[in-house]
Structure 1
Amino acid sequence: MPNRDYTYYDYTISLCPTCLKRVGAKIIIQNESVFMTKRCPDHGFFKTKIATDVEYYKNIRNYNKPSETPVHFGTDVLYGCPYDCGLCVDHEQHSCLSVVEVTDRCNLTCPTCYAMSSPHYGSHRTLVEIEAMFDLIIKNEGEPDVVQISGGEPTIHPQFFQILDIAKTKPFKHLMLNTNGIRIANDPGFAEKLATYAPEFEIYLQFDSFKKEVLEDFRGKDVSDIRMKALAKLNDLNLSTTLVVVLQQDKNMDEIGKILDFALKQKCVRGVTFQPVEIAGRNRDDSAGEKVTLTEVRQEILNQFPLLNSDDIIPVPCNPDSLAMGYILKLDDEIFPLTRYINPADLLNSESKNTIVYERDKGVQMQLLDIFSTGISVDKVEPKMNQLLCCLPNISAPDLGYDNLFRIIIMNFMDAHDFDVRAVKKSCVHIVSKDLKMIPFETMNLFYRDSKKEYLEELRHDGKVLF
């Protein structure tokens, strides 16, 4: 009998990249990679590479843990995922990161923008609307973990600092500002005023590349000087900062190691988040060939940053299909990989205990972290490490601060090409919509932005998408 030229591995529900209708999808292993194949009756056959490391892909299921659901759900299930977002009662993960878009407008017109932001697009939210968005997060989460002020470019909102003042009155454990850094770089006193909101406050700074041509392609102009001026001010203030790097094939994948080396030398930088490009918004659909998979990014980190090994970048248990993480400890001028000392089984059990010991200074042992301990107070650590190490239970480190931690995150926001309903149900990055619904990041950009809602209603009432 003839054989297929692939191994059938799994089955899921995806979307047609052309019409966004739900279609069945095979997960297959072929030529040492993992692919998603699907067929739309109207638009034909599609094949998308979703992993280049077969063993890593198979292993992610071992990192699944029981879902942590929100306190409150916003919608019922009527049409099936992803057409009921709000969060619907069938969603499997609470909001680890809640995003509040305070404006549609931006002082750049980035070709890679998933939200279509520009100086003339949309409008600013009012303070009343923004506070209602904050209060929805609290209703859903109780004490929200991380809330990110975003846009557009949030710093151009005419009442920007009033927004931060309101946010600081809310029971948010950690507040982030997602920014391109223009006002930090150019406005005297702006960075200094931001620093008054520390310590539970962090800058999420676009970075992307050192190359002029890549920045022009991603951001519409060379913003190198802006990034460096902003970082210089943030370093002077030691204001906690994460560098955010959008990745595309043949553009900046070769810079991953250089960016990590650079980031580790910056006093204020607490980590780097790598985001493979999402084909949504202003991104050209024909750039789908420039997408990179999470496993490709992970492998390039290991190739270009030899300090780390394969045990140092692992799946994040709340959404292992779409997130991977690694942690490094910074002590004086030395850096130590941390994640390799974590037993994966401990990630799924908050009662387990695992002590990390490093040998330094001629064999003298120094205990740095007692990880997963439930009996030792962490009140002296500001901000508390156990709230900032994504998906780890408890961290006790009374002699260390957030300055000592450096995290590497790979965050793969799926689009219609690699959409997998299994992973979307575990999405933990949620955007507050204008009509006060919590929407997973991926589905927000595909269905729930202003220009897309009319088509979403058509999909909902098309019999082909109903259960």
Structure 2
Amino acid sequence: MTGKPHIPPTDGRGAWKQTKETSRDHGATRSVCPICLRSVDARRVGQGDTTWLIKDCPEHGRFSAPIWRGAPDFEAWKRPKIPSAPRLSLTRRDKGCPHDCGLCEEHGQHTCTALLEVTARCNLACPVCFASAGGTDPAGDPDLARIGFWYERVMAASGPCNIQLSGGEPTVRDDLPEIVALGRERGFSFIQLNTNGLRLAQDAAYAQALRNAGLASVFLQFDAMDDETYRVLRGRPLLHRKLLAVERCLELGLGVVLVPTLAPGVNEQALGPIVEYALRMGSGVRGVHIQPMSRFGRFPGAPDGERITLPEIMRLLDAQTDGMLCAAHFEPPGCEHALCSFHATYVRTLDGKLKPLKTGGCCGPKTDPIPAEEGSRRAVARVAREWVAPKPLDTSPDNTASRAKGDFDLFLDQARSTFTVSAMAFQDAWTLDLERLQGCCIHVVSPDGRLVPFCAWNLTAADGTPLHRGRG
């Protein structure tokens, strides 16, 4: 697959319209009106190779958006899951989902990753920022006491899940190493930094301090291997700084995950070169995590129909790697809702290629119902295992294991480290499906200490009005 995704018949605004093709009903759900954000009934409807989310607001009319295009089959991809409420619900149900997030007792999944937004400041002003981050005034940054309270609330509500420090751009804080250390002291063993990498590239002492404090992994914004893409998505050429950031992290033994935002008509062809670069940089680059662009934050407004769905990303990866990343390798998640993401785990071969590591998925065969708590527990362990840098091999003469192996076997151990490829389709006001939202395992910690599903926290109406962010 190359070029722009195929766009089915629409009404001229990217919306579904009835054709002579037979429609397939994939079930009812609830969503929101993208104009007023009120909760409305919705249905998933298949027509041709596309599944649409269609909903009607009594005030603003019908809205629709494509949520799945092509193989694998929409119904076949689904994975059964046995929901269960979080160990501690911090919000009572009043207005109904998604307006009472916190989590309420109707939420059916446990926290896999908790995001702590440690600043709203940023050293970029990306046109597609989901947080609308910016500014330079540190006065609004939460202090260490507040962040310590957040860690306590996450531990009480979810136990020792994975932590991602986010923002804004977290590295604008000089005390970020203290925040990492505080999280480790509070019992969180896997702490990841979500960053644009600019400060890591230029400040070796700062990067070293983060590593010394216990940072495990870097979730690095990485959209392409050319500067023009960064000009469009980030406002200026950044490739050189991105490459320096990767090199800095690898020197320090930090695991790196490359995270491209995939924008229609901008960088669909960037995936193959990104994977090639990741493999060339060695085992410290742990994987690629793709995020198709959604319409929220600084990029709201009515969609134009050019939305990239998960199946299309699978086929883009297949085509751009000559089948090394075959679409058939990818599996639905065992933690979040099946329609939210896909993943595959590989081992590196001696010739620099990838071989799929088939284990039945992180949470067992796709057909087996997964208890929500067990799926979350396994996902937490898998991410913490696969996104940290492999430990350096001890080849000293005193190492018994080293002496028992030849040089070739030691090289094989290092070369066959795992590499993950995954994608997550965030929901916006057009695609929000409350069934998916109630199965979310990635939760933002609100300023007052509630846990809010990522897509609900960042949800904005067509005019940019937020549902939750900035309101508590």
Q: TM-score, normalised by structure 2?
A: 0.80
- What do you get for the CA RMSD once the two structures are aligned? 3.1
Q: Deviations over 1:384-435 (max 9, x none)?
A: 7585369xxxxxxx99689811111111110011111111111111000001
1:32-431 matched pairs, under 5 angstroms = 32-53=49-70, 55-61=72-78, 63-67=79-83, 69-120=85-136, 123-144=140-161, 146-197=162-213, 201-267=216-282, 268-305=284-321, 306-318=323-335, 319-340=337-358, 342=360, 346=365, 387-388=384-385, 404-431=417-444
Q: Report the CA distance shift for 1:456/1:431 in structure 2 as closer, same or farther (over 3 A).
A: closer
Q: Deviations over 1:41-86 (max 9, x none)?
A: 222222211111254321232x222236432111122221111100
**Most deviating of 255-264 and 423-432:** 255-264
Q: Which amino acid aligns with 1:425?
A: Q
- The CA deviation at 1:333 is 4.5
How far apart, CA to CA, are the structure 1 residues paired with 2:141 and 2:416?
34
Q: Deviations over 1:299-357 (max 9, x none)?
A: 21122221132331111022211011111112554444334452785367699xxxxxx
Q: Which amino acid aligns with 1:191?
A: A
2:466 counterpart of 1:452: yes
- The CA deviation at 1:125 is 0.8
Q: Report the CA distance shift for 1:287/1:197 in structure 2 as closer, same or farther (over 3 A).
A: farther
Please say if residues 287 and 419 of structure 2, whose CA atoms lie closer than 8 Å, have aligned partners that are also in contact: yes
**Most deviating of 306-315 and 78-87:** 306-315
Q: Report the CA distance shift for 1:283/1:139 in structure 2 as closer, same or farther (over 3 A).
A: same
Please say if residues 33 and 54 of structure 1, whose CA atoms lie closer than 8 Å, have aligned partners that are also in contact: no
| Structure 2 residues not aligned, in runs of 5+ | 1-18, 371-379, 388-400, 402-409
Please say if residues 114 and 443 of structure 2, whose CA atoms lie closer than 8 Å, have aligned partners that are also in contact: yes
Aligned to 1:440: 453
Q: Report the CA distance shift for 1:123/1:10 in structure 2 as closer, same or farther (over 3 A).
A: same
How far apart, CA to CA, are the structure 2 residues paired with 1:263 and 1:288?
32
Q: Which amino acid aligns with 2:344?
A: G
Q: Report the CA distance shift for 1:287/1:157 in structure 2 as closer, same or farther (over 3 A).
A: farther
Relative contact order (C-alpha < 8 Å, sep 6+): which is higher? Answer: 2
How far apart, CA to CA, are the structure 2 residues paired with 1:244 and 1:271?
9
Please say if residues 23 and 40 of structure 1, whose CA atoms lie closer than 8 Å, have aligned partners that are also in contact: yes
How far apart, CA to CA, are the structure 1 residues paired with 2:266 and 2:32?
27
Percent identical among aligned pairs is: 28
Q: Which amino acid aligns with 1:178?
A: N
Q: Which amino acid aligns with 2:130?
A: Y
Please say if residues 65 and 348 of structure 1, whose CA atoms lie closer than 8 Å, have aligned partners that are also in contact: no
How far apart, CA to CA, are the structure 2 residues paired with 1:456 and 1:6?
40
How far apart, CA to CA, are the structure 2 residues paired with 1:454 and 1:243?
28
Q: Which amino acid aligns with 1:70?
A: P
Q: Which amino acid aligns with 2:453?
A: P
Q: Report the CA distance shift for 1:68/1:233 in structure 2 as closer, same or farther (over 3 A).
A: farther
- The CA deviation at 1:95 is 1.0
Q: Report the CA distance shift for 1:56/1:143 in structure 2 as closer, same or farther (over 3 A).
A: same
Aligned to 2:392: none
Q: Report the CA distance shift for 1:69/1:325 in structure 2 as closer, same or farther (over 3 A).
A: farther
How far apart, CA to CA, are the structure 1 residues paired with 2:217 and 2:166?
12
- The CA deviation at 1:92 is 0.8
How far apart, CA to CA, are the structure 1 residues paired with 2:423 and 2:84?
21
How far apart, CA to CA, are the structure 1 residues paired with 2:239 and 2:30?
41
How far apart, CA to CA, are the structure 2 residues paired with 1:212 and 1:107?
18
Please say if residues 117 and 152 of structure 1, whose CA atoms lie closer than 8 Å, have aligned partners that are also in contact: yes
How far apart, CA to CA, are the structure 2 residues paired with 1:326 and 1:108?
32
- The CA deviation at 1:266 is 1.6
Q: Report the CA distance shift for 1:288/1:197 in structure 2 as closer, same or farther (over 3 A).
A: farther
How far apart, CA to CA, are the structure 2 residues paired with 1:173 and 1:160?
16
